[in-house]
Amino acid sequence: MNVFNQISVWLSFQLSIIFLIGIPATLFLWSIKKRNKAVNRLLSIYWKISLLFFISLLLLIGKYNYALIITNISTLLMTVSVWFWNDINDELKEYEFNYSLITTTKVWRWSLTFISLNFLIQSLQNLNCFSFINSAECTIWIQPSSNFYIILKSLFNFFFGANFTQPIAKFLGLFALLIYFLGLIQWLIIKLPKNGRNSYFSENGSK
């Protein structure tokens, strides 16, 4: 992996932290303050879907071979989740440009889409990392999760008085992935056919 590619991957992860975590957290708190049910519902769904991204970080820490595939799936699902709901989309269209919360939300959705596509393009340049993350040229994909690893080690030691190791991270990541997968299957089989693309963000009016 050349230096330019390494810098691109590093930037992709840094932008991911901002657009996948920082901005949506700010928008979520903002929507609570403004009591905007549509944005609040959108972000609530987004955070549920985004759990897969944190699971993928655990798997990257544990150097699970298919962790990069799961990371890409998580970013794509997060992007789909903010565009999928017809009732929320219709609600957001009703607001004027000068309504800052909605305008910021719209800009963030497009930015998230760009970040996810860019992340996928970066990954496709290293196809072997999709199935063998432990190779030397894939190290750059594991390094960004090191800060998350340090935080988890500190928390694990504080609460359980034990070391948080890579095998533990891999086990927890795979267990969480199983639970997440079962929840997703349940939604696809039961809730999606029943509700369709309606989020039911408000049963008492659209605003």
| Residues 72-118 pLDDT 10s | 999 999 999 999 999 999 999 998 888 999 999 999 999 999 989 98
Q: Is residue 84 part of a domain?
A: yes
Q: Is residue 118 part of a domain?
A: yes
Q: Is residue 201 part of a domain?
A: no
Which tops the pLDDT comparison, 18 or 152? Answer: 18
Q: Which residue has the tokens 């330019």?
A: 4
Q: Is residue 54 part of a domain?
A: yes
| Residues 128-173 pLDDT 10s | 889 888 888 788 888 777 777 777 778 777 777 777 888 888 999 9
Query: Cβ of 110: how many Cβ atoms within 10 Å?
Result: 12
Can you give the residue range of the structural domain that contains 191? 3-195
Give the containing element (helix H, strand E) for 3. helix 3-16
d(CA 44, CA 201): 10
Q: Is residue 203 part of a domain?
A: no
28-31's contacts with Cβ under 8 Å and 24+ in sequence apart are: 30/101, 30/104, 31/101
Q: What is the pLDDT of residue 204?
A: 44
Q: Is residue 129 part of a domain?
A: yes
Tell me the average pLDDT across 173-188: 95
Domain count, the chain: 1
Q: Is residue 206 part of a domain?
A: no
Q: Is residue 207 part of a domain?
A: no
- Between the alpha carbon of residue 159 and those of residues 68, 69, 86, the distances in Å are 29, 31, 43
